[in-house]
């Protein structure tokens, strides 16, 4: 476990997580804005493994775009859930000679060559959201996100205290080191945890797979989903299977906050994706301008934070903000 390091700026950013929509292989420029409109002259490429329809990434992108406006940075956003294609997007940014690159590192081995190409070219790279244990080995200078092992263990400890014996941990993207770390953390606290692989790009398939599993095994007492959209699928699957399992999830969006409020979901773990996007771009600006290095050689953590019935009334209004 690592100590929780947080830059002061992280603390004042959104407590909420996501909004709606998704993109694949999109590329947009956000130039200037705010008090520093167009003043820096820096161009930052922002590359993620966003899957179309995953609401999480709107929040990440909103944070990145706001930072670009505040710092006067030109932002080039692109994404692809396919590891090879994400690597190609990073390489394209290198070829375009951008000033800095912020990227998720969800599949480190597949991205290592492209990241190496960037650092060899003298382009600073920061990691965010995924790859906390690998970012330094790959050559990234800084990292902004949650420690997923810590987060998973925290979930496991909480549901174990509530009596969990046989949780089902639902992995919605093959090969994601972050998702695997979450489930491993849950299992470390609840040895009876079982993993289930689903296709997170297809909600109907997720619901069908979960429904079949829950109908077949009534001993499953918790469903732990690793993204808000999958949690919504789990609610439908639970109802269709007449399962007694309780639902908890990682990540938060406005709809999920409402589901916590009405009791359909026990709690969510928020990693504050808006802060991840904002800090990734701001850190590159500060590094390029002043040589600043945030975190002191350690990752800057943006979570985990529990959202449940005790604080949902405070959190709910924030889910409607910081999405643009």
pLDDT of residue 320: 66
Report CA-CA distances (Å) from 301 to 167, 176, 239, 246, 309.
Answer: 26, 19, 36, 28, 24
Query: What CA–CA distance (Å, rounded) separates 281 from 293?
Result: 13
- Longest pairwise C-alpha distance within the chain: 60
Which tens digit of pLDDT belongs to each residue from 189-246?
999 999 999 998 898 999 999 999 999 999 999 999 998 889 999 999 999 999 999 9
Q: What domains are defined for the chain?
A: 8-146+271-303 (3.40.50.2300), 148-270 (3.40.50.2300)
pLDDT of residue 321: 58
Q: Can you list the residues of the chain whose pLDDT is less than 70?
A: 1-38, 320-324
pLDDT of residue 56: 82
Tokens 């802060």 locate to: 275
Which tens digit of pLDDT belongs to each residue from 157-186?
999 999 999 999 999 988 888 899 999 999
């Amino acid at each position: 476990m690592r100590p929780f390091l947080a830059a002061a700026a992280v603390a004042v950013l959104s407590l909420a997580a996501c909004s709606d929509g998704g993109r694949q292989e999109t590329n947009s420029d956000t130039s200037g804005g705010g008090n520093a409109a167009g003043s820096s002259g820096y161009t930052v490429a922002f590359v993620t493994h966003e899957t179309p329809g995953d609401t999480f990434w709107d929040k990440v992108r909103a944070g990145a775009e706001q930072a670009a406006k505040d710092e006067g940075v030109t932002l080039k956003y692109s994404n692809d859930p396919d590891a090879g294609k994400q690597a190609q997007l990073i390489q394209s940014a290198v070829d375009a000679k951008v000033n800095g690159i912020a990227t998720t590192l969800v599949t480190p081995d597949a991205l290592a060559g492209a990241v190496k190409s960037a650092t060899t070219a003298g382009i600073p790279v920061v990691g965010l959201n995924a790859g906390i244990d690998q970012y330094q080995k790959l050559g990234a200078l800084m990292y902004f996100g949650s420690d997923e092992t810590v987060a998973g263990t925290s979930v496991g400890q909480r549901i174990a205290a509530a009596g969990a014996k046989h949780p089902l941990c639902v992995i919605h993207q093959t090969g994601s080191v972050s998702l695997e770390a979450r489930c491993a953390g849950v299992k470390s606290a609840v040895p009876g945890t079982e993993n289930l692989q689903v296709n997170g790009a297809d909600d109907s398939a997720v619901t069908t797979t979960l429904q079949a599993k829950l109908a077949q095994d009534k001993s499953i007492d918790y469903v732990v989903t690793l993204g808000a959209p999958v949690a919504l699928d789990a609610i439908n699957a639970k109802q269709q299977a007449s399962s007694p399992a309780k639902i908890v999830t990682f990540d938060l969006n406005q709809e999920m906050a409402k589901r916590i409020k009405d009791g359909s979901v026990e709690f969510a773990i928020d990693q504050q994706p808006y802060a991840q996007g904002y800090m990734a771009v701001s850190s590159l600006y500060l590094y390029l301008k002043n040589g600043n290095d945030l975190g002191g050689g350690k990752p800057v953590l943006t979570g985990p934070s529990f959202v449940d019935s005790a604080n949902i009334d405070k959190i709910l209004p924030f889910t409607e903000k910081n999405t643009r």
